[in-house]
Amino acid sequence: MRIGIVCYPTVGGSGVVATEMAQELAQRGHEIHLLSYDRPGRLRRGISGLRFHQVQVSAYPLFRYPPYDLALATRMLEVREEAKVELFHVHYAIPHAVSAFLARSMCAPEACLRFVTTLHGTDITVVGADRAYMRPTRFAIEQSDAVTTVSQFLADETRLVFGVRSPLHVIPNFVDTERYKPGTNGRWYQRADEERILVHASNFRPVKRVADVVRAFAAIQRQVKARLLLVGDGPDREHALAVASDLGVQHRVEHLGVRDGIEDVLADADLFLSASETESFGLSMLEAMSCGVPCVSTRVGGVAEVLGDTGMLTAFGNPDAMAQAALPALTDAERHRRLSDAARRRAVELFGVDQVLQTYVDLYQQVIAQPARPAVGGATR
């Protein structure tokens, strides 16, 4: 198949999933065209069958905010015409699904554009729920040839917020279990240094509550010798590091910044911490699970669908409860082994790349086979 994939290039889950999907599909023989306004961080070079198309936005003085959605629609139409793309898969509703609809509206009648929209979370729970974006988000969902969500929680939330009646396909995120696997240096009870290594990875937005992760770590560190590795970057970085300083644990907290992949960090970690206010899936936690790393998370959104009984869930906004939930796994070697083995097994059995990608391929084929929706306006030149 010839597939176009549209995403944000940032380190958030939607951009990571879309980029990894593009690479995996290309390696399986499909012709993939990846579109974004910048090169995604996880996009590797030299993959046969994968081409990146950067969307250029003209900054005219008349525009206070450059109209990326219009530039994207034009580029999608160009790629459709040049590469004979059979279907676009857009990740995140606003503006990508709206741009896809606009591109379809500009198509010639005999070259109609089909698109699948994947909802990842904040495009529904935060952006889409904003009054300014609610109606275009609902419209984009309704105009999509198929819509997927990364968790049952998000499917239910989408129906609740937007009153969507069309089918929503729940297809979880995936992980490359051969790339993300337990390391060779072992856990704290196998290393010469019994220091516990805790990890948090995110885009450091306010919804991720990174400062609460630091607060939970400070409470843990009072009980066991530990170090916290912060992976990623974003607006709350300085606040989180300031909290570490205020609590006197700044020498035990390391900010590693944005990394192309965190498998090398996770491979020998002992625990993953997440304190999010909302989390429709939790891709970083899945990557940790694949590395055999137990997770402690707030009980929000679709996290329980990911962790199952392999991790510990606590109430939102309670760092002390997170610390108390983490301590048994950091002090009882046998308990940690059981959780580690269960996390790895769950990742392999439910979220492996092959089974999830095949579900998407099956959906693509269904969409391509069904009658195309007519273009609204007709060809423009």
Q: What's the rounded mean pLDDT across residues 280-292?
A: 95
Q: Looking at the DSSP assignment, which residues form a beta bridge with residue 147?
A: 117
pLDDT digit string, tens, across residues 297-332:
999 999 999 999 999 999 999 999 999 999 999 999
Residue 194 is predicted with a pLDDT of 86
- Contact indicator for 285, 306 with CB cutoff of 8 Å: yes
Report the first-to-last Cα separation within the chain, whole angstroms.
27
Among all chains, which residue has been given the structure tokens 């990608």?
357
Name 372's Cβ contacts closer than 8 Å, sequence gap at least 6: 112, 114
- 124-146 b/e (C-beta count within 10 Å ≥ 16 → b): bbebbeeeebeebbbebbebbbb
Residue 381 is predicted with a pLDDT of 40
How far apart CA 270 and CA 217 sit, in angstroms, is: 13
Is it the case that residue 272 has pLDDT exceeding 60?
yes
pLDDT digit string, tens, across residues 10-58:
756 788 899 999 999 999 999 999 999 998 878 888 899 999 999 988 8
- Band (380; pLDDT cuts 50, 70, 90): very low
- Band (379; pLDDT cuts 50, 70, 90): very low
More confident residue, 253 or 92: 253
Length of the chain: 381
- Contact indicator for 68, 41 with CB cutoff of 8 Å: no
pLDDT digit string, tens, across residues 353-373:
999 999 999 999 999 998 877
Among all chains, which residue has been given the structure tokens 């993959």?
47
Written as one letter, the residue type at 192 is A
pLDDT digit string, tens, across residues 193-252:
889 999 999 989 999 999 999 999 999 999 999 999 999 999 999 999 999 999 999 999
Domains and CATH numbers, the chain: 2-174+354-369 (3.40.50.2000), 196-351 (3.40.50.2000)
Nearest of 21, 331, 11 to residue 187 by alpha carbon? 331
- Band (127; pLDDT cuts 50, 70, 90): low
Nearest of 295, 179, 319 to residue 244 by alpha carbon? 319
pLDDT digit string, tens, across residues 140-180:
899 999 999 999 999 999 998 888 888 999 999 999 999 99
Check: pTM over 0.85? Answer yes or no. yes
- Band (279; pLDDT cuts 50, 70, 90): very high
**What SS3 class is residue 329?**
helix
Residue 136 is predicted with a pLDDT of 86
Is it the case that residue 378 has pLDDT exceeding 50?
no
**Cα of 185 vs its chain's centroid, Å:** 28
pLDDT digit string, tens, across residues 55-102:
988 877 777 777 889 999 999 999 999 999 999 999 988 899 999 999
How far apart CA 293 and CA 13 sit, in angstroms, is: 19
H or E stretch including 342?
Answer: helix 333-351
Pairing of strands 50-54, 31-36: parallel
What is the biggest distance separating any 2 CA atoms in the chain, rounded to whole angstroms? 69
Among all chains, which residue has been given the structure tokens 């769950």?
346
How far apart CA 295 and CA 304 sit, in angstroms, is: 11
